[in-house]
Amino acid sequence: MPDSIRDSAAPVNSVLEMQGGEAVARMIRAFNGGPMFGMGGFQLLPFYEAARHFGMPHHLINDERSGVFVADAYAKVSGRVGLADATLGPGATNLVTGLAEALNAGTPMVCVVGDTHRDHAWKNMTQECRQVDLLRPVCKELIRVEAIHRIPEMMRRAFAVATTGRPGPVVVDLPEDLMHATHAFPAEEFEVDPANEAAPALRCRPDGAAVARAADLLAKAARPIILAGGGVHISGAADALTAFARAIDIPVAHTLTGKGAIPCVDPLSAGLFGRYDRIANRLIEEADVILVVGCKLGEIATKRYTVPAPGKTIIHLDIVAEEFGRTTRADVLLWGDAKLGIEDLHAALGARAAEMKARHAGYAAQVSARMAEWREGVAERLHSTERPINVARLLTAINTVLPEDGILVADGGFAAHWGGLLFDTKRAGRGFVPDRGFASIGYGLPGAMGAALAAPGRPVVAMTGDSGFCMVLGDLETAKRLDLDITIVVVNNAASGYVKALQHLVYGAGNYHASDLKEMDFAAIAQAFGCTGIRVEDPEAVEGALRQAIATKGPVVLDVIVTRDPAKMLPGVDNRAAVIRKGDRIA
**189 shares a domain with 225:** no
**311 shares a domain with 410:** no
**281 shares a domain with 155:** no
3-state secondary structure 406-466: CEEEECCCHHHHHHHHHCCCCCCCCCEEECCCCCCCCCHHHHHHHHHHHCCCCCEEEEEEH
The dihedral over CA atoms of 8, 9, 15, 19, expressed in degrees to the nearest 10, equals 60
> What is the value of pTM for the model shown?
0.95
**304 shares a domain with 451:** no
**175 shares a domain with 39:** yes
**360 shares a domain with 275:** yes
Q: Give a yes or no: residue 6 inside a domain.
A: no
Structural domain count, the chain: 3
Q: Give a yes or no: residue 424 inside a domain.
A: yes
Q: Give a yes or no: residue 408 inside a domain.
A: yes
Q: Is 230 helix (H, G, I), strand (E, B) or coil?
A: coil
Q: Which residues contact 133 (CB under 8 A, 6 or more apart)?
A: none
Q: Give a yes or no: residue 362 inside a domain.
A: yes
Distances (CA, A) of 450 to 78, 193, 476, 502: 9, 25, 13, 31
Q: Which amino acid is at 424?
A: D
The residues that bridge with 114 in the sheet, in sequence order, are: 174
Q: Which of 141, 165, 197 is the last residue of a domain?
A: 197
Q: Residue 492 gets which letter from DSSP?
A: E
**268 shares a domain with 169:** no
CA–CA separation, 423 vs 585, rounded Å? 37
The three-point CA angle 403-409-412 to 5° equals: 150
Q: Render each residue's pLDDT in the chain as its tens digit; 587 residues.
A: 444 455 545 566 799 999 999 999 999 999 999 999 999 999 999 999 999 999 999 999 999 999 999 999 999 999 999 999 999 999 999 999 999 999 999 999 999 999 999 999 888 888 999 999 999 999 999 999 999 999 999 999 999 999 999 999 999 999 999 999 999 999 999 999 999 999 999 999 999 999 999 999 999 999 999 999 999 999 999 999 999 999 999 999 999 999 999 999 999 999 999 999 999 999 999 999 999 999 999 999 999 999 999 999 999 999 999 999 999 999 999 999 999 999 999 999 999 999 999 999 999 999 999 999 999 999 999 999 999 999 999 999 999 999 999 999 999 988 999 999 999 999 999 999 999 999 999 999 999 999 999 999 999 999 999 999 999 999 999 999 999 999 999 999 999 998 999 899 899 999 999 999 999 999 999 999 999 999 999 999 999 999 999 999 999 999 999 999 999 998 876 767 665 554 443 32
**420 shares a domain with 519:** yes
Domain of 264 in residue numbering reads as 208-374
Q: Give a yes or no: residue 54 inside a domain.
A: yes
User: Within a 10 A sphere around the Cβ of 325, how many other Cβ atoms?
Assistant: 12
Q: Give a yes or no: residue 186 inside a domain.
A: yes
Q: Give a yes or no: residue 560 inside a domain.
A: yes
CA–CA separation, 65 vs 204, rounded Å? 33
**438 shares a domain with 552:** yes
Burial class (CB within 10 angstroms; exposed 0-12, middle 13-18, buried 19+) of 71: buried
